[in-house]
Amino acid sequence: MTLARRIIPCLDVDNGRVVKGVEFEGLRDMGDPAELGARYNREGADELIVLDISASFQGRATFLETIRRVAEQLNIPLTAGGGIRTMVEGRAVLLAGADKVTVNTAAVRRPELISELSQQFGAQAVVLSLDVKRKNGSWEAYIRGGREATGRDAADWAAEAVQRGAGEILLTSIDRDGTRSGFDCEVTAKIAATVPVPVIASGGASTFDDFLSVFTLGGADAALAASIFHLETHSIAALKKFLASHGVPVRQTGLDKTPVHSATENR
């Protein structure tokens, strides 16, 4: 009996559509969030993360509706966030159907936001989104979608956030994000060893071996990827089969093997 390592597809949502950032090009439309969510739910994703990257007020206003539409499609957990500034906004995200809310910029500026959300909804509902960049052999935390350095050491900030009540860390390597050069196992291992809560590794996923490394070398509890799943470069089932064959405990959707009707026939 072991806690399975999780595979988590991520939907970046702009103005109600899933998008992918393409360097120097802007955003490319990847589809409808509810449709993609339903597909990942069916294909054996362990959880789904939906992040609002809308810059416009209008886009932000549609995000709660997106959460509602996605949540309706799922029987797995849903994490949502992106630009959450206040307790009221965090609460709205959870009431719209998310099980967990991510916070980043606002939490750096006012760390009490983490404590407040955690006290009301429980640590298991509060995820610190931690964007990091390598700097002189260490890592610095960034805010505002990776545009602004905080001057804070990533591990120090992670430890404070957990102490304030964050129940999970979504760790994104800005250096690796979008590069397809593999997860940053070093920073993942560093943060995973620092905090007593699960760490979701993000940024750089490309091959099956990248996932294997981030679980074995990085000590990640979960691994997130976006475009390789959206573009159907890899299927979640094939990835999990590969990980299982290398000794990583994963949840392979058991009832796919045992249809529900035959499982209930012998009642």
Partner 1 sequence: MKVAVVDYGAGNLPSVERALRGLGADIERITQPGQVAQARAIVLPGVGHFGAFVRGLRDRKLAEPLRVARDSGVPIFGICLGLQAMFASSEEAPEALGLGFFPEMVTALPTHVKSPHIGWNQVRRIRDSRLLRGVPEDAYFYFAHSFAAPACAAATVAACDHGISFAAVIEHENLFGAQFHPEKSGETGSLVLRNFVESLS
E-strand ranges in 104-255 read: 126-135, 138-143, 148-153, 168-173, 199-202, 222-225
Nearest to 102 by CA among 139, 148, 85: 85
Residue 64: strand pairing partners: none
Member of 29, 56, 122, 246 binding partner 1 (CB under 8 A): 122
Confirm if 134 and 171 have CB atoms less than 8 A apart: no
Told to check if 167 binds partner 1 by CB under 8 A, we report: yes
Which segment (82-90, 120-128, 145-153, 181-189) binds partner 1 by CB under 8 A? 120-128
Q: What torsion, rounded to 10 degrees, do the Cα atoms 28, 48, 145, 227 define?
A: -30
Told to check if 151 binds partner 1 by CB under 8 A, we report: no
Confirm if 67 and 97 have CB atoms less than 8 A apart: yes
Please calculate the CA angle 150-153-155 and round it to the nearest 5 degrees: 130
Told to check if 264 binds partner 1 by CB under 8 A, we report: yes
Task: Give the binding-site size for partner 1 (rule: CB under 8 A).
Answer: 45
Nearest approach, Cβ of residue 40 and partner 1 (Å): 12
Q: Which candidate in 131, 177, 184, 210 is catalytic?
A: 131
Which segment (118-126, 175-183, 205-213, 238-246) binds partner 1 by CB under 8 A? 118-126
Member of 10, 94, 128, 143 binding partner 1 (CB under 8 A): 94
Residue 17 per-residue DSSP state: E
Q: Helix, strand, or coil here: 220?
A: coil
Member of 24, 26, 57, 75 binding partner 1 (CB under 8 A): 75
Sign of CA dihedral 171, 175, 179, 183: negative
Using the minimum distance from each CB to partner 1, give the nearer residue, 125 or 205: 125
Nearest approach, Cβ of residue 49 and partner 1 (Å): 13
Q: In the complex, which residues of this chain contact partner 1 (CB under 8 A)?
A: 1-6, 41, 46, 71-72, 74-77, 94-95, 97-99, 119-125, 167-168, 196-198, 221-222, 251, 253-258, 260, 263-264, 266-267
